[in-house]
Amino acid sequence: MSNRTVPAPTLPWNGDLQHEAVDLLRSGGKIVVSPTKVGYIIVTTDAEGLRRKFEVKNRPLRKPGVVLCGSLDQLVTLAQTTDEILDFYRAHWRQDVLLGCILPWTPHGRAHIPPGAADYVMDERATSCFVVRFGIPGERIARALWDADHTLLFASSANPSGQHFQWRCRALGRGSLAHVARLSLQGNRGRVDGIGDRIASGADLVIEADDYVRSLQPDTGNRYEQGVMVSFVDDDGELVPEQHGRRGIHPAPALIRGGLSQDRIVAALAARFPTWDYRHGQYY
């Protein structure tokens, strides 16, 4: 972890590709805080950066990061899909809807995973969550890295960890438990000052775009802190079978985490898959 005890340099998002972030990430072992549609995330590109990301969050290694895709071409290169899954992604891409799906890697895609990084981004089934349409600032970084030399961008939320809030509980006393528990459910609240001191001081760069996040979710009292995840794999990490309009096909797609645009994603599932499950909270 960085020995820095003061917040990382913070830059306002320039409205386009943040070259400073790209340059840092390409230098290796760096972590950057970036805005998305649902708040702030930590992004990195290699095993050392992933190790640091988990460290600044106090996040268990059993909760792998996600893979950010800046284009559908990148998604198809990295992840195994079917015609039905790809159609599902395309619909959300066209509508600019944040979507993450649990999928196996293609052999070619696995070759792009940096040495030592696989255990940080895969679950025990060797699957990962591949995310699209997560917000312009990060999408442009992911696209620039991939287009330059097929560098991958990995991420997880820039939220103070549960352990961080346990420490605050002990510091504030038992009477503050309920208050701190409520805070722990708020994530970073779409504000750069909500990422917490540990992340702010542990990152190498913070891109601030509170206005951008607010423009996408103006109702701060009911905003979503996460994107929807849909699993397209069975218990062994194999792709679920295509349905072709037939009913009662199992295993089936499952929505395993609710979030932003859930109503639209559920509607898309219902329109394309006669059989699917809703299992919010099952994610890893």
Render pLDDT for 154-174 as a digit per residue (tens, 0 to 9).
999 998 865 444 444 444 444
Residue ranges in the chain modelled with pLDDT below 70: 1-5, 60-62, 161-186, 283-284
Render pLDDT for 104-125 as a digit per residue (tens, 0 to 9).
999 999 999 999 999 999 999 9
CATH of domain 10-278: 3.90.870.10
pLDDT number for residue 81: 98
Domain ranges of the chain: 10-278
* Residues whose CB falls within 8 Å of the CB of residue 188, separated by 6 or more in sequence, listed in order: 39, 40, 157, 158, 159, 160, 194, 195, 196, 225
